[in-house]
Amino acid sequence: MGTPCHFALFELKPEFELDLAHLADRYRELARQVHPDRFADAGESEQRQALERSANLNEAYQTLKSPSRRARYLLAIEGHEVPLEATVQDPAFLMQQMHWREELEELHEQADLDGVAAFKSRLKQAQQGLNDDFARIWQDSERRADAERLVRRMQFLDKLTQEVRQLEERLDD
Amino acid sequence: MALLQIAEPGQTPQPHQRRLAVGIDLGTTNSLVAALRSGVTAPLADADGQVILPSVVRYHAERIEVGAQARLAAATDPFNTISSVKRLMGRGLADVKQLGDQLPYRFRQAESQMPFIETVQGAKSPVEVSAEILRALRQRAEATLGGELVGAVITVPAYFDDAQRQATKDAARLAGLSVLRLLNEPTAAAVAYGLDRQAEGVVAIYDLGGGTFDISILRLTKGVFEVLATGGDTALGGDDFDHAVADWILERAGVSGDLEPGAQRELLKIACDAKERLSDVDAVEVAYAGWSGELQRETFDALIEPMIARSLKSCRRAVRDSGVELEEITAVVMVGGSTRVPRVRSAVGQLFGREPLTDIDPDEVVAIGAAVQAETLAGNNRDGEELLLLDVIPLSLGLETMGGLMEKIIPRNTTIPVARAQDFTTYKDGQSAMMIHVLQGERELISDCRSLARFELRGIPPMVAGAAKIRVTFQVDADGLLSVSARELASGVEASIQVKPSYGLTDGEIARMLEDSFRKADEDRDARALREQLVDAQRLLEAVEAALVADGERLLSAEERVAIDSQVAELRGLLDSQDALAIERQTKRLSQITDAFAARRLDSTVKAALAGRRLNDIED
């Protein structure tokens, strides 16, 4: 993981619950200081540094902004890397995944835009639910396995959100 | 120069502490250069007062013509008169063939995969043609601003891929311009609008130019312009409207078959005129090849509807990508000449549910925004509240993986600069090399994506399949340009490239072109030296003559007067000589011989002031 810690960069404590508006404000302040545009007439090495620091800042912001990436990052700095795309040992959730996918297929076949909108809002609710669960348990070292399971579920829902967007695009043709 | 200050009070020459920088809108149809002058950022005009430079280059055997004059020859000299060259930037011969009959040039495959155009001056790459346009703008700017430029911000369509951006940067290099930044056109427009209105909120920029379409969604917060999403189509623009009208005319006129390039240009011009007139009236008369008829605006609207629909689809996608709802968008800005078409305005207004803003000239707004950013980047407004532009990459970047699939490393609409790494492994025991194929695009199959570059990581120590860990790092800088490196983590073996686009120029080609342009740069330099000397000489002559009229009799003896008059005549005689050195020498001589005169005038002014009399009274 990159040093310094993403949270420290924003002068935040490593916590899951986060004020996104404050994060965005802080991001803009920091971006002002490190963006390569500020160093357009500086020497080559300064420019390269600005580029690196700016890229770091952007990466940190993207990570903290997204709940699933933030959750995964929190576990990682505690020493528990959650691999991307790992097989989910989570039979109950697997059933639910299949269910969602089938539903999406159907919406596609029927070109049901209202249905897609309803699906999206349910998806959002499900994501919120996972976020709440994670916030409750992630610091409890006894429940590490549960926390990791939640992160995998979050990642799946992110992917599903992508698929919904692709479906919207296809239906827009 | 002492004389000047007395003769023309209030017009003292500006001290040139400022670093001269300009914004350039290098458009498909038209190009502009803008700069900050006495507090106002505005496009710079040529000697005839025109700010728009048609993006047309005509190659004569001995010289090159750029702009309106060149455009006049489009129909009579089609092979040597290149227009809409932006459509060819960063493209391969195969892409260009897809554009098909729209381009009447004779193409030739060269060393690189870039299409070269046959002209009387030999084969020219699109990069060289673009460089001629940039050179003309640079010369205009240097003549107007009176000095050499430290650099330029050049705008590109937000949806330009890496190859197209690299090609633009190469063109600037050939034109002797230092690129302060490649700036996305809609972002530039947002700057021009945002600064003007002190705007806050979410803004959509709809930019329909001659050959490209861009849509960007930005959030404006306290001088920070944050691009949330961008989208578009690099092959959609007003040119397509012209072709639609041209096809309609052909059908009506009963003309079929392939047209000669000259005839095709003629027809397109008629179509374009009809389109432009239809922005103001409901119907226009059109005549072609003995046929004449009326084109109703309604018919025209129907002809262009499929293209407008395509643009609106891109808009919806960009809004979805931005994560904001349509209702959150507080302003819609229209950019590009094609947004003058009433149907375009109404369709966009309908989609966003609000009247689009058109109060800055849609042709000029991009260049103005670029000039604002150029001032910042040149370091001229360090004191004030600087604006900050946070842009994104328009298309996902990734690698080819097993099975001809594209693995995305950096998804589209990621804020730049960005660096991201991903680990890969070997798939065969003892595999010692790995091919890295860099791609850009949204589709899964690599054949649907644009191939940016290929390179090889060699010398991987023999290991069982899956044991090696190869980290590939993508880095995109603030210009949106990509570099890629790969490294085997156990052994430290490394390979990296500054992405040389598959459709870019080869090093050999660039070297040859640079050599050409250096030769041209010498000519440029000589021309500039002469122009500068002429300006100095004329300024001095005017000042001296005005001073002679005012105070010659009162302050000069007869001999002094004769001496000055003869030096004035000498300098006048040299003005047409084209001899920069002689003009410079004579200017200096005249300046020296009038020094005493200047001092006397200054004294008499002071005395007059002390005596409580106004200068006018003395002159009377």
B516 among known catalytic residues = no
Rounded to whole angstroms, how far apart are CA atoms B303 and B585? 64
Is there a single domain that holds both residue B146 and residue B192? yes
pLDDT for position B528: 67
B25 among known catalytic residues = yes
**Neighbour-count burial for B321-340, b at 16+ CB within 10 Å, e otherwise:** bbebeeeebebbbbbbbbbb
State the average pLDDT over residues B394-402: 88
User: Is B138 within the bounds of a domain?
Assistant: yes
Task: Give A14-35 pLDDT, tens digit per residue.
Answer: 999 999 999 999 999 999 888 9
Q: CATH no. for residue B254? A: 3.90.640.10
Is there a single domain that holds both residue B198 and residue B309? yes
Rounded to a whole number, what is the largest CA-CA distance in chain A?
Answer: 59
Is there a single domain that holds both residue B73 and residue B146? yes
Task: Give B554-604 pLDDT, tens digit per residue.
Answer: 888 888 899 999 999 999 988 888 888 888 889 888 988 888 887 787 777
Q: Could you check whether the bond before residue A36 is cis, i.e. omega within 30 degrees of 0?
A: no
Q: What percent of chain A has pLDDT over 70?
A: 93
Query: How many residues does the structure list for chain A?
Result: 173
Q: How confident is the model at residue B553 (pLDDT cuts 50, 70, 90)?
A: confident
Residue ranges per structural domain of chain A: 6-65, 91-172
| B419 interface with A at CB cutoff 8 Å | yes
**Of the candidates B122, B110, B115, B78, the residue with the CA atom closest to the CA atom of residue B97:** B115
In sequence order, what are the residues at sequence separation of 6 or more whose Cβ sits closer than 8 angstroms to the Cβ of residue B562? none
User: Is B292 within the bounds of a domain?
Assistant: yes
Its CATH class, for the domain covering A91-172, is mainly alpha
Phi, psi for A159 (deg, rounded to 5): -65, -40
pLDDT at residue B332 above 90? yes
Is there a single domain that holds both residue B460 and residue B494? yes
Q: CATH no. for residue B483? A: 2.60.34.10
State the average pLDDT over residues A118-128: 94
More reliable by pLDDT, B10 or B426: B426
User: Is B356 within the bounds of a domain?
Assistant: yes
Task: Give A48-71 pLDDT, tens digit per residue.
Answer: 888 999 999 999 999 999 999 999
Q: Check A40 against B180: CB less than 8 A apart.
A: yes
Q: Computed over its alpha carbons, how large is the radius of gyration of chain B?
A: 29
Q: Which chain B residue shows the shortest CA-CA distance from A39?
A: B377
Domain end, chosen from B505, B528, B553, is at B505
Q: How confident is the model at residue A169 (pLDDT cuts 50, 70, 90)?
A: confident
Q: Which chain A residue shows the shortest CA-CA distance from B224?
A: A28
Is there a single domain that holds both residue B103 and residue B227? yes
Q: How confident is the model at residue B112 (pLDDT cuts 50, 70, 90)?
A: low
User: Is B4 within the bounds of a domain?
Assistant: no
Is there a single domain that holds both residue B280 and residue B429? no
10 Å CB burial of residue B341 (0-12, 13-18, 19+) is buried
pLDDT, chain B, mean: 84
pLDDT at residue B518 above 70? no
Pairing of strands B283-288, B151-156: unpaired
* Mean pLDDT comparison of A113-117, A167-171, B340-344, B502-506, highest-scoring range: B340-344
Q: How far is A142 from chain B (nearest CA, A)?
A: 31
Task: Give B282-321 pLDDT, tens digit per residue.
Answer: 999 999 988 999 999 999 999 999 999 999 999 999 999 9
Which DSSP symbol is given to B445? B
User: Is B512 within the bounds of a domain?
Assistant: no
Q: A6-65 has which fold?
A: Helix Hairpins (1.10.287)
More reliable by pLDDT, A136 or B443: A136
Is there a single domain that holds both residue B219 and residue B367? yes
Is there a single domain that holds both residue B65 and residue B126? yes
Rounded to whole angstroms, how far apart are CA atoms B147 and B467? 60
For chain B, helix (H) and strand (E) counts, in that order, are 16, 27
pLDDT for position B511: 59
pLDDT for position B102: 59
pLDDT at residue B416 above 80? yes
- Choose the closest CB to A51 out of B180, B379, B417: B417
Domain hosting B147: range is 21-238+302-391
Q: CATH no. for residue B334? A: 3.30.420.40
Rounded to whole angstroms, how far apart are CA atoms B278 and B298? 10
pLDDT for position A74: 93
In sequence order, what are the residues at sequence separation of 6 or more whose Cβ sits closer than 8 angstroms to the Cβ of residue B557? none
Q: What percent of chain B has pLDDT over 70?
A: 86
User: Is B514 within the bounds of a domain?
Assistant: no
Phi, psi for B284 (deg, rounded to 5): -130, 150
Span of B117-126, B384-393, B514-523 with lowest mean pLDDT = B514-523
pLDDT for position B453: 81
Is there a single domain that holds both residue B333 and residue B374? yes
Is there a single domain that holds both residue B253 and residue B119? no
Rounded to whole angstroms, how far apart are CA atoms B440 and B4? 59
Residues B339, B342, B347, B350, CA torsion sign: positive
**Of the candidates A21, A26, A33, the residue with the CA atom closest to the CA atom of residue A60:** A26
| B386 interface with A at CB cutoff 8 Å | yes
B469 among known catalytic residues = no
pLDDT for position B464: 86
| B125 interface with A at CB cutoff 8 Å | no
State the average pLDDT over residues A88-97: 79
Query: What SS3 state is found at B455?
Result: strand
**Of the candidates B67, B21, B73, the residue with the CA atom closest to the CA atom of residue B48:** B67
Is there a single domain that holds both residue B216 and residue B295? no
pLDDT for position B194: 78
User: Is B615 within the bounds of a domain?
Assistant: no
What token pair was written down for B90? 């960063």
User: Is B15 within the bounds of a domain?
Assistant: no
Q: What's the number of domains chain B is made of?
A: 4
Domain end, chosen from B367, B391, B415, is at B391
Q: Which chain B residue shows the shortest CA-CA distance from A61?
A: B415
**Of the candidates B161, B172, B165, B48, the residue with the CA atom closest to the CA atom of residue B513:** B172
B242 among known catalytic residues = no
Q: Which residue's structure tokens are 């050999």? A: B508
Are the beta carbons of B269 and B75 closer than 8 angstroms? Answer: yes
pLDDT for position B12: 35
Q: What is the DSSP string of B376-430?
A: HHTTS-SSS---EEE-B-SS-EEEEETTTEEEEEE-TT-BSSEEEEEEE--SSTT
More reliable by pLDDT, B611 or A148: A148
Query: What SS3 state is found at B616?
Result: helix
Q: Check B378 against A41: CB less than 8 A apart.
A: yes
- Choose the closest CB to B478 out of A28, A36, A173: A36
Domain end, chosen from B268, B301, B334, is at B301
**Neighbour-count burial for B19-42, b at 16+ CB within 10 Å, e otherwise:** bbbbbbbbbbbbbbbbbbeeeebe
**Of the candidates A89, A62, A52, A50, the residue with the CA atom closest to the CA atom of residue A6:** A62
Q: How far is A44 from chain B (nearest CA, A)?
A: 13
In sequence order, what are the residues at sequence separation of 6 or more whose Cβ sits closer than 8 angstroms to the Cβ of residue A27? A10, A57, A61
Are the beta carbons of A104 and A167 closer than 8 angstroms? Answer: yes
Q: Check A37 against B389: CB less than 8 A apart.
A: yes
Are the beta carbons of A64 and A10 closer than 8 angstroms? Answer: yes
Is there a single domain that holds both residue B141 and residue B54? yes
pLDDT at residue B324 above 70? yes
Q: How confident is the model at residue B5 (pLDDT cuts 50, 70, 90)?
A: very low
- A1, A58, A163: best to mutate for the B interface, most B CBs within 10 A: A58
- A49, A54, A69, A170: best to mutate for the B interface, most B CBs within 10 A: A54
Task: Choose the catalytic residue: B86, B124, B169, B275.
Answer: B86
